Amino acid sequence: MDNRPVQLDDRTWLLVLTGAGISAESGLATFRDANGLWENHRVEDVAAPEGFERDPSLVWRFYSQRRTAASACEPNAGHRALVEVERRLGDRFLLVTQNVDALHLRAGSERVIELHGSLFVTRCSRCARPPFPDTRLYEDALPECEACRKAGRRSLLRPHIVWFGEPLFPGHFDRIEAFMGTARRGRLVFLAVGTSGVVYPAAGLVNLARAHGAEAWLLNAEPAENGSAFDHFVRGRSAEALPALLGTAR
Ligand code: BJW
């Protein structure tokens, strides 16, 4: 365990990966809480394309409830510490979040990749119409695609979320790899916060970063599944430990 701050100087490029643990301090449940169940459904069933095909009403109820829960929360000191570091580092900072709750954006982070999508974006399950911002709740009638209706067919809208078994959105991994490649000019630091290290490809980013010469830090409430890949482990609550680790605590 390591409790000194990460050294951030003018040669440092900082790549941060966040997970549900950073939003836990805003009051949102993590995934592997409650045995990975939501109303007695396995999360893998409501967050998978097969689940949507089987029971789209259930899936939209799950995501509508999550829209409501995320909208009722506020970003916390962990989110704000990342905003402050980004202001200091500028383009030498990149935040990759697995969270779909938009709390980093609401806190003011700008260089953000929402790797698993966003709760507040919807797209058609069939046509190539671009994903669009959407805060509505679909707890009764299922939403249909207007563009498909005009073309004479019926298709359901779906959350713009990367479900199990689906590939990441085009361009996201390229942008992360480009950042790591450019960071070789200086000193790359990889920091994972509040993630169990179970879900791939996000859990493999630490190995990719290390292959690019990164020093790797993990801040988590408990040891992570991929913990042995990190050079440093800070055990703690993100809202308290992250400002201390990044030297933004006052
Ligand atoms: C605190 C704290 C506090 C609490 N302070 N800490 C390689 C090996 C094995 C399997 C695979 C593999 N590659 C791919 C797979 C399959 C699969 C996968 O990884 N499965 C594993 C479960 C085994 N991956 C996929 O299917 C991915 N797709 C893919 O690989 O496609 C390939 C492909 C290519 C080409 C064509 C087709 C396919 C997609 C993964 C998508 C994940 N989606 C989800 C749900 C959707 C989002 C949503 O609805 O919200 O994303 S799953 C869920 O897990 C969610 C999360 O973003 C993700 C990660 O969870 P996270 O953030 O780590 O949360 P927790 O709860 O697990 O952990 C929280 C941690 O915080 C805990 O450790 C706590 O201790 C800690 N904590 N409070 C600090 N206050």
pLDDT tens sequence across 190-226 = 999 999 999 999 999 999 999 999 999 999 999 999 9
Reported pTM:
0.97
- Ligand 1 site residues (CB inside 6 A) read 19-21, 24-25, 30-32, 47, 98, 100, 116, 161-167, 194-196, 198-201, 220-222, 224, 237-238
Residue 249 has pLDDT above 90, yes or no: no
Q: Are 19 and 134 within one domain?
A: no
Give the model's confidence band at 3: pLDDT under 50 very low, under 70 low, under 90 confident, else very high.
low
The number of the ligand 1 atom at minimal distance from the alpha carbon of 33 is 66
In degrees and rounded to multiples of 5, residue 220 shows phi and psi of -155, 160
In a domain, 82, yes or no: yes
Atom 72 of ligand 1, residue of closest alpha carbon: 196
Number of domain units in the chain: 2
Residue 39 has pLDDT above 80, yes or no: no
Q: Report the relative pairing of strands 232-235 and 215-220 from DSSP bridges.
A: parallel
For residue 158, the model assigns a pLDDT of: 98
For residue 41, the domain's CATH number is: 3.30.1600.10
Average pLDDT over every residue of 56-71: 96
For residue 221, the model assigns a pLDDT of: 98
Residue 2 has pLDDT above 70, yes or no: no
Residue 250 has pLDDT above 70, yes or no: no
For the chain, the helix, strand and coil percentages under 3-state DSSP, each to the nearest 5: 40, 20, 40
Atom 4 of ligand 1, residue of closest alpha carbon: 21
Task: Tell me the residue range of the domain where 54 lies.
Answer: 31-69+121-161
Q: Sign of the CA dihedral 45, 48, 54, 55?
A: positive
- The more confidently predicted of residues 187 and 37 is 187
